[in-house]
Amino acid sequence: MAKERQNCWEYMKCGRQPEGDKVAELGICPAAADTSYDGIHSGKCAGRICWAVAGTFCGGRAQGSFADKRGTCLNCDFYKLVQEEEGVANRHTKFLQFIAQEDRSPFFDKMTYRHVKAGERFVVQGEVENTAYIIQRGSCLVIVEKDSELHPVDHYGEGDIVGGLGILTGEPRRAHVEAETDMDLWVLTKAQFDEITMKDPALLNFITELVADRLDSRRPTAYRTIGKYVATDIIGHGAFSIVYKGEHKDLSMPVVIKMMRHDLALYPEFINSFHNEAKTIASLNHDHIVKVYDFDERYRTLFIIMEYVQGDSLKDMISHLRALPPKLAVNFLDQICSALEYAHQRGIVHRDINPSNIIVQPDDQLKIFDFGLACPTGTEDFSSTGTVFYMAPEQIDGDPVDPRTDIYALGITAYEMVTGRRPFPEDDLKSLLDLHLSHNIPDPARIVPDLPALLRDFIVNAGRRNPAERYQNMAEAIEDLQPLVREFGLTNKDLSMEKRKMASLFLIYKDEHQLALKELMDDFSTKAQSLGIVLKAADFRDL
């Protein structure tokens, strides 16, 4: 059994942890307030590494920034304890351990050696370098510089690799790295790395998994430039991707940037799936479906640039309210049905409708996103992909999916909206799947006795385990919902019809640019027509 590791406030017994006996007098220690992760390399500010966090209380006084207190912290007994534990930690990120295996040890012959003194910054954020460093001895701190502030975000010790992202992708350094102690490093160049990974694909797999793991963090992240866009903060994580908030560099337009995990980008089937997601959403133009603006391929992975939507997930709203009042539930169901009918009419089944994939905007208008699992109607779903609590029986069995698959998931979602809970016990995954396969959705009126009968009927009909007994298409579901829409006085906009919009573009030019401008407009017109866009031009003389 692994030895339990102590946090600094447990070891130092300062009393400044949440509910500690010194909190009333001194406040909660910033190192103890970060509950985002557990473990040696965890947390927004590097977790147990209290010396990386400004404002801690040690030695009878409040401490300053990590730079101010570094000298004292390096002599701290807790610091030395963590260093010792880290040296023997059996973590998958111990790169030295991986390449020191007998069949890979000749790699060291191609590397050079470097000594770094304590306090030296040997990696500089923003620089493009072709080297990585493998730590033979010592430790270092990873520091993100953002908006003129320094954020310690990670800590590497013996056996770790520093700069792996740079030699894998060619991307500029995403953080500074400073030596905490004297360090002995092996230097690995990109040319050496490329040569080695050609002979040993397992090494490439290892480092791409490591890079994906390090990028998957809620800690402060440096700005990343992706073509015309700048990624600013990580706002979400999924099995296949990491989601950033960002903006268009020239237009200052907020966007969402969805990046495929580097370790999955090695496999053609995942690349094809990601391409499919981009094409699928880009083809949809509906007020309640998140729009795709762009697609980019760089840094050995893929990016989808999407509309940025302000709001909270429907899952968070249900959790906050415990259950939605019937009028609000009907309003939301009406919008979801409209969006899904639009997608279904174009032969697209979402396959993962659930409250986490629906954003509620401040005006109670919804947006459905995460069409990453979307597929054409009739596709056999051998992968059983989707969120298990909302999967239709045919999806669990790997049978062909169609609009009724989304209708079932919508029934589960509607049940959760009005009751505040999902319909089946979830203590055991196999039992849960068996219940989906063998039982219809329970009657929500057992939990909410005053639920309107028409809303109760809608949920029950949508959630029948036999597809033949459900609504057969979204039009049937919408028809049953409309009496409630009218009863509650909701505005029933027909959003299933594709809208057309018009944008104006003014080009101001000199006479000598006329020929070049004509060639540019001819090329633009050809591309616009291929997208079904009608281009109209007018000539304004002598402005």
Reading the chain (543 residues) residue by residue, the pLDDT tens digits are: 455 667 777 788 888 888 888 888 888 877 777 655 444 334 444 445 666 677 777 777 777 876 677 777 777 888 777 767 665 554 555 677 677 665 666 667 778 899 999 889 999 999 988 899 989 888 888 888 888 878 777 778 888 889 888 888 888 898 999 998 899 999 988 888 888 888 777 777 777 777 777 676 666 677 878 888 888 887 777 667 788 889 998 888 999 988 887 777 777 777 777 777 677 778 888 999 998 888 888 877 888 888 999 999 999 999 999 999 999 999 999 999 999 999 999 888 998 899 999 999 999 999 998 775 455 554 444 344 568 899 999 999 988 889 999 999 999 999 999 999 999 988 888 888 999 999 999 999 999 999 999 999 999 999 999 999 999 999 999 999 999 999 999 875 544 334 455 666 667 767 666 667 666 776 676 666 555 576 666 555 555
Residue environment code for 126-139, b if the CB has 16+ CB neighbours within 10 A, otherwise e: eeeeebbbbbeebb
Across 346-481, where does the E strand assignment appear? 348-349, 358-360, 366-368, 375-376
- What local confidence, expressed as pLDDT, does residue 209 receive? 75
Asked whether 122 and 115 are in contact (CB, 8 A), the reply is: no
Place of tokens 């795709």: 292
Catalytic residue among 154, 334, 352, 370: 352
CATH 3.30.200.20: does it fit domain 224-307? yes
Q: Of the candidates 487, 484, 489, 499, which has an alpha carbon nearest to the alpha carbon of residue 337?
A: 484
Pick one of 2.60.40.10, 3.40.50.1820, 3.20.20.70, 1.10.510.10 as the CATH number of 312-487.
1.10.510.10
Asked whether 174 and 222 are in contact (CB, 8 A), the reply is: yes
Helix residue ranges, H only, 63-141: 66-73, 77-88, 95-99
Q: Determine the 3-state secondary structure of 393 from DSSP.
A: helix
Domain boundaries, the chain: 8-88, 95-215, 224-307, 312-487, 501-543
Write the class of the CATH domain 95-215: mainly beta
Q: Determine the 3-state secondary structure of 137 from DSSP.
A: strand
Q: Of the candidates 371, 94, 411, 180, which has an alpha carbon nearest to the alpha carbon of residue 258?
A: 371
- Give the angle 436-441-442 at the CA atoms, nearest 5°: 130
Q: Determine the 3-state secondary structure of 21 from DSSP.
A: coil
Question: What letter represents residue 62's amino acid?
Answer: A
Q: Provide the 8-state DSSP code for 177.
A: E
Is 352 known to be catalytic? yes
Q: How many angstroms separate the CA atoms of 31 and 430, rounded?
A: 40
